[in-house]
Amino acid sequence: MEMTVTMTGNVGSEVEHRVTRTGLATASFRMACTPRVYKDGEWHDQTTTWIGVECFRGLADNVASSLGKGEPIVVQGRMRTRSWTDTNGALHERLVIEATAVGHDLNRGTSAFRRVQRTIAVAEPEPDAQPDSDPVELAS
Protein backbone atom coordinates (compact mmCIF):
# COMPACT_ATOMS: atom_id res chain seq x y z
CA MET A 1 0.00 0.00 0.00
CA GLU A 2 1.39 3.41 -0.97
CA MET A 3 1.18 6.48 1.26
CA THR A 4 0.48 9.33 -1.16
CA VAL A 5 0.60 12.84 0.30
CA THR A 6 0.09 16.40 -0.89
CA MET A 7 1.88 19.19 0.99
CA THR A 8 2.24 22.92 0.65
CA GLY A 9 5.18 24.92 1.91
CA ASN A 10 8.28 26.77 0.74
CA VAL A 11 11.44 25.60 -0.98
CA GLY A 12 13.77 25.63 2.02
CA SER A 13 17.12 24.97 0.33
CA GLU A 14 18.75 25.32 -3.05
CA VAL A 15 17.71 22.59 -5.48
CA GLU A 16 20.52 20.06 -5.97
CA HIS A 17 20.40 18.70 -9.54
CA ARG A 18 22.51 15.70 -10.52
CA VAL A 19 22.77 13.10 -13.24
CA THR A 20 23.84 9.62 -12.17
CA ARG A 21 26.43 7.51 -14.00
CA THR A 22 23.55 5.68 -15.66
CA GLY A 23 22.06 8.95 -16.95
CA LEU A 24 19.19 9.28 -14.45
CA ALA A 25 18.42 12.92 -13.63
CA THR A 26 17.73 13.62 -9.95
CA ALA A 27 16.84 16.75 -8.01
CA SER A 28 16.42 17.15 -4.28
CA PHE A 29 15.65 19.96 -1.88
CA ARG A 30 14.25 20.59 1.58
CA MET A 31 10.72 21.84 1.99
CA ALA A 32 9.65 23.99 4.95
CA CYS A 33 6.06 23.83 6.19
CA THR A 34 5.20 26.44 8.83
CA PRO A 35 1.59 26.48 10.05
CA ARG A 36 0.21 29.86 11.18
CA VAL A 37 -2.48 30.40 13.79
CA TYR A 38 -4.53 33.49 14.60
CA LYS A 39 -4.49 34.08 18.35
CA ASP A 40 -5.21 37.17 20.42
CA GLY A 41 -5.70 39.32 17.31
CA GLU A 42 -2.35 38.39 15.74
CA TRP A 43 -0.91 35.74 13.42
CA HIS A 44 1.75 33.50 14.97
CA ASP A 45 4.08 30.99 13.31
CA GLN A 46 4.13 27.51 14.79
CA THR A 47 7.03 25.07 14.62
CA THR A 48 8.40 24.52 11.11
CA THR A 49 8.35 20.96 9.77
CA TRP A 50 11.22 20.18 7.37
CA ILE A 51 10.90 17.37 4.84
CA GLY A 52 13.13 16.22 2.01
CA VAL A 53 11.77 16.14 -1.54
CA GLU A 54 13.30 13.88 -4.21
CA CYS A 55 12.51 14.11 -7.93
CA PHE A 56 13.59 11.91 -10.83
CA ARG A 57 13.87 12.02 -14.64
CA GLY A 58 12.07 14.85 -16.45
CA LEU A 59 10.49 16.12 -13.24
CA ALA A 60 14.00 16.56 -11.78
CA ASP A 61 15.12 18.64 -14.78
CA ASN A 62 12.00 20.81 -14.67
CA VAL A 63 12.20 21.36 -10.90
CA ALA A 64 15.85 22.38 -11.17
CA SER A 65 15.06 25.00 -13.82
CA SER A 66 11.81 26.24 -12.23
CA LEU A 67 12.17 26.47 -8.45
CA GLY A 68 14.22 28.74 -6.21
CA LYS A 69 14.77 28.89 -2.47
CA GLY A 70 11.90 30.57 -0.62
CA GLU A 71 9.27 30.05 -3.32
CA PRO A 72 5.83 28.70 -2.30
CA ILE A 73 5.14 25.21 -3.68
CA VAL A 74 2.76 22.28 -3.74
CA VAL A 75 4.29 18.79 -3.76
CA GLN A 76 2.51 15.50 -4.33
CA GLY A 77 4.16 12.11 -4.04
CA ARG A 78 4.88 9.00 -2.05
CA MET A 79 6.14 9.24 1.53
CA ARG A 80 9.36 7.28 2.06
CA THR A 81 11.80 6.71 4.92
CA ARG A 82 15.49 7.00 4.05
CA SER A 83 17.86 5.24 6.46
CA TRP A 84 21.65 5.40 6.78
CA THR A 85 24.34 4.57 9.28
CA ASP A 86 26.89 7.25 10.16
CA THR A 87 30.62 6.72 10.76
CA ASN A 88 29.95 6.04 14.47
CA GLY A 89 27.53 3.22 13.63
CA ALA A 90 24.41 5.17 14.64
CA LEU A 91 21.30 4.55 12.55
CA HIS A 92 19.53 7.66 11.22
CA GLU A 93 16.19 8.02 9.44
CA ARG A 94 14.41 10.88 7.73
CA LEU A 95 11.14 11.23 5.90
CA VAL A 96 11.18 12.27 2.25
CA ILE A 97 8.56 12.72 -0.41
CA GLU A 98 9.37 10.93 -3.65
CA ALA A 99 7.61 13.52 -5.80
CA THR A 100 5.27 12.69 -8.67
CA ALA A 101 4.21 16.34 -9.16
CA VAL A 102 5.64 19.70 -8.06
CA GLY A 103 4.39 23.20 -8.80
CA HIS A 104 4.20 26.74 -7.52
CA ASP A 105 1.43 27.43 -5.00
CA LEU A 106 -0.80 29.82 -6.97
CA ASN A 107 -2.62 30.89 -3.79
CA ARG A 108 0.48 32.94 -3.05
CA GLY A 109 1.57 34.24 -6.46
CA THR A 110 1.55 33.70 -10.21
CA SER A 111 3.60 31.48 -12.47
CA ALA A 112 4.06 31.11 -16.23
CA PHE A 113 4.07 27.66 -17.82
CA ARG A 114 6.56 26.76 -20.56
CA ARG A 115 6.21 23.40 -22.28
CA VAL A 116 9.46 21.42 -22.44
CA GLN A 117 10.65 20.61 -25.96
CA ARG A 118 11.74 16.98 -25.93
CA THR A 119 14.18 15.94 -28.63
CA ILE A 120 13.78 12.63 -30.42
CA ALA A 121 16.88 10.90 -31.72
CA VAL A 122 16.56 10.20 -35.43
CA ALA A 123 18.92 7.76 -37.10
CA GLU A 124 20.91 9.33 -39.94
CA PRO A 125 20.79 7.36 -43.23
CA GLU A 126 23.95 5.67 -44.41
CA PRO A 127 25.86 7.85 -46.93
CA ASP A 128 25.62 5.15 -49.65
CA ALA A 129 22.04 4.16 -48.83
CA GLN A 130 19.56 3.92 -51.67
CA PRO A 131 16.03 5.28 -51.32
CA ASP A 132 13.39 2.75 -50.28
CA SER A 133 11.43 3.30 -53.49
CA ASP A 134 11.85 4.71 -56.95
CA PRO A 135 11.16 8.39 -57.45
CA VAL A 136 7.63 9.19 -58.53
CA GLU A 137 7.03 11.62 -61.37
CA LEU A 138 4.12 14.00 -60.97
CA ALA A 139 1.97 14.69 -64.02
CA SER A 140 1.61 18.33 -64.85
Between strands 49-56 and 91-104, the pairing is parallel
Q: Which helix (H) or strand (E) holds 63?
A: helix 57-66
Question: Mean pLDDT in runs of 10 for the chain (140 residues)?
Answer: 91 97 96 94 95 97 96 97 94 95 96 83 60 51
Domain ranges in the chain? 4-104
Which DSSP string corresponds to 14-68? --EEEE-TTS-EEEEEEEEE--EEEETTEEEE-PPEEEEEEEEHHHHHHHHHH--
d(CA 97, CA 51): 7
Q: What pLDDT is stored for residue 125 in this prediction?
A: 59
d(CA 68, CA 41): 33
Q: What pLDDT is stored for residue 90 in this prediction?
A: 94
Q: What pLDDT is stored for residue 2 in this prediction?
A: 82
Specify the fold of 4-104: OB fold (Dihydrolipoamide Acetyltransferase, E2P) (2.40.50)
Q: Is the pTM of this model over 0.85?
A: no
Q: What pLDDT is stored for residue 105 in this prediction?
A: 97
| Torsion angles phi and psi, residue 35, rounded to 5 | -70, 145
Q: What pLDDT is stored for residue 53 in this prediction?
A: 98
